Amino acid sequence: MRWSWTHVALILTTLTLGHMPGLADSPEPVAMSAAEIKFLLAGNSLAGNGKVKDPTPPYDWVAHYGADGSLRLRLKPEWGGKIMVGRWWMNDEGHQCRQFETGHKKEGCWRFQREGKFVRFSPTSGTAVEGRAVMIKGDALKE
């Protein structure tokens, strides 16, 4: 079998998210570098439930981060069920930022941390809110 960069990326993403011995058991958040965040998000999805809840289905929101910098976010039906479209990038401080072209059109940036099997994101600017999410490999918004 010939390994592609996609295979390598999926393996490394799995390791990054806490499937290494001991990491998932750590109650303390571990800061993520800009390179780790970009690697984690590009081509994958995050999903969560509110600000402080553990992310479990059905999710309040699901976001797909395209490898090309595109972003799509779907809200749960009780929140309108709309899909907002925008873009995402890493800023000079190593924080993940996003700007929507549809929906509320506001910009926000976050610092990311691994927290056991979850990802915690904390606002650093704009209209960002704090929360926790679970990573879903690939495009969770494919219909």
List the chain domain ranges.
5-136
Decide if domain 5-136 falls under CATH 2.40.128.640: yes
pTM for this prediction: 0.77
In the chain, the percentage of residues whose pLDDT exceeds 90 is: 50
Q: Which residues contact 71 (CB under 8 A, 6 or more apart)?
A: 63, 64, 65, 85, 86, 87, 88, 98, 100
| Six-digit token string for 114 | 């691994």
Residue 51 — pLDDT band, cuts 50, 70, 90?
A: low
For the residues 60-78, what does the mean pLDDT come to?
94
Question: Kind and range of the H or E element at 74?
Answer: strand 70-75
Residue 136 — pLDDT band, cuts 50, 70, 90?
A: very high
CA distance 22 to 131: 23
Question: Kind and range of the H or E element at 37?
Answer: helix 34-41
